[in-house]
Amino acid sequence: MTELIRKLLGWCPVKEQIRKEEQFMFSNENQTVTEIKSNKRIFLGVAHLALALYLISIALSVLSEPNTRMFPWWIMDINFVASGILLTIGIISLVMSFGFVKRDDSYNNICKILALASIGLAIAFFAYLHQYMARIWYSGATVLIRGPLSNYTFDLGTLIAYSALIALPALMSLLALFRSPRGSYIPDAGKKSYLTLAITIVLVAATTLGLGIYYNHLNQQKASMVVEEFGKNREIKLYELNDDFVAGTWMDGQDISHFIDSKKSTSGRFVSQDTYDAIRFLEDVDAVAVMAWWDPALEIEAAGKTPVICYASEKIEHTVARPTSIDEFEPDEKVADVARFFVTDSVEEAKDISEEYGTTIAYLPRYYGPGLFWAMTEALDPKLEVSSQSEFGQLYEQSMYHRMITCSDPEPFERIFENDDVCIYRLE
């Protein structure tokens, strides 16, 4: 009787069965979507955790190296800024990794904010280090490990790859979060997000403060080491390296007593007592312009003289070890002329070049040797072709540069100063 009444009211057993099957299928489909979504969040959480551990370990290892507290001081600047950025991205990724392992969407909004911050910091990392391109090529995937451990020095391709690597997890998170369906309302979810954001800000602020305190400590240590100042505005500083400062670094046990540097220069370098004596001698020489390669330019300026070139040209930027900004390059033609002065085997050609630039003194450090001569040959225009090592050696031995540093005095140039590190010639 009951079944008859239900049929009269429109009930259909087949339709009921179909409805039950649809409900079952929808339940299974919803469960599958939930599992896929959960697996995606777990994957993103693990990716952020791995990135966080990598970046934090890299930054801390660089900051703990003796190189961080040694001269040249631009290394310290790069280490602190780049490590600070990577530490911040690492902290953000660490917080995001915990947010993604949650099975609900309560942290979606905060993860979006943090992902955008990570991408912005990765762009800042690239923009900052782009000013300090190292002309060093590594092979294969080692660039992603060796680069950061070598004072964050990259060539352009490696820097792009590394910046993309640290931004990739955040980018993947953004894509996943914006495509995810809006979840149901969860009580106190907003409070949790704000608390997570506050914790992230506190951790980043504490890290920044710690880096600032350490950086300030090293700068105070640096200021206490100044023993002399040169230049019109006293912008060139001479630092004395004590035993405590060089302990544990490659300088320990070396014949290096001072470091000369200037914020306006790109050629700060270690100075031996012999080089310091050469600077003092050059101060008393009656000359204005000095013929020299760009590496010892700061030494010449400290002596109150003007070097013909103070930096490399853009054409030979790949020969530069110290990072620089691109607007500091010298004209290609000028650098090529100075290179020709040292590379030529003709005294007459060298004299013509020195007269063209009004130089009466040539300053030659001895400690660079063939490596510096190679950079000079690279600067020549047209580029000098050397087919073999023996041909290069022959060119080097016949050059004015080799003849001057070995004191095979080329007439009519007069050697007026010599010690183990420096030779000075009068060109008149």
Q: Could you report how far apart the first and last alpha carbons of the chain are, in Å? A: 129
pLDDT in tens, the chain (428 residues): 555 545 544 555 555 555 554 554 444 444 444 444 557 778 888 888 999 999 999 999 888 876 666 666 777 888 899 999 999 999 999 988 887 766 556 677 888 888 999 999 999 999 998 877 765 555 555 666 667 777 787 878 888 888 999 999 998 888 877 765 554 444 555 566 778 888 889 999 999 999 999 888 888 888 888 999 988 788 899 998 877 777 777 777 777 888 898 877 766 788 888 999 999 999 999 988 999 999 899 999 999 999 999 988 888 877 776 655 556 789 999 999 999 999 999 999 999 999 999 999 999 998 777 778 888 888 886 555 655 667 777 888 889 999 999 887 677 889 999 999 999 999 97
Q: What is the CATH number of domain 226-426?
A: 3.40.50.12610
The alpha carbon of residue 265 and the mean position of all alpha carbons in its chain are separated, in whole angstroms, by 18
Measured at the CA of 219, the angle between CA 213 and CA 220, to 5 degrees, comes to 90
User: What CA–CA distance (Å, rounded) separates 154 from 145?
Assistant: 11
Sheet holding 422-426, edge to edge: 306-307, 289-291, 359-365, 422-426, 414-418
Q: Is 103 helix (H, G, I), strand (E, B) or coil?
A: coil
Residues 199 and 203: their CA atoms lie apart, in Å, by 6
DSSP state letter for 361 = E
CA–CA separation, 229 and 321 (whole Å): 25
pTM: 0.70
If one counts every other C-beta atom within 10 angstroms of the C-beta of residue 176, the result is 18
How far is it, in rounded angstroms, from Cα 278 to Cα 365?
A: 10
The 10 Å CB-count burial string (b at 16+, else e) for 271-302 is: bbebbbebbeebeebebebbbbbbbbbbbbbb
What is 188-252 written as a DSSP string?
Answer: THHHHHHHHHHHHHHHHHHHHHHHHHHHHHHHHHHHHTEEEEESTTS-EEEEE--HHHHTTSTTT
Rounded Cα–Cα distance for residues 64 and 58 (Å): 10
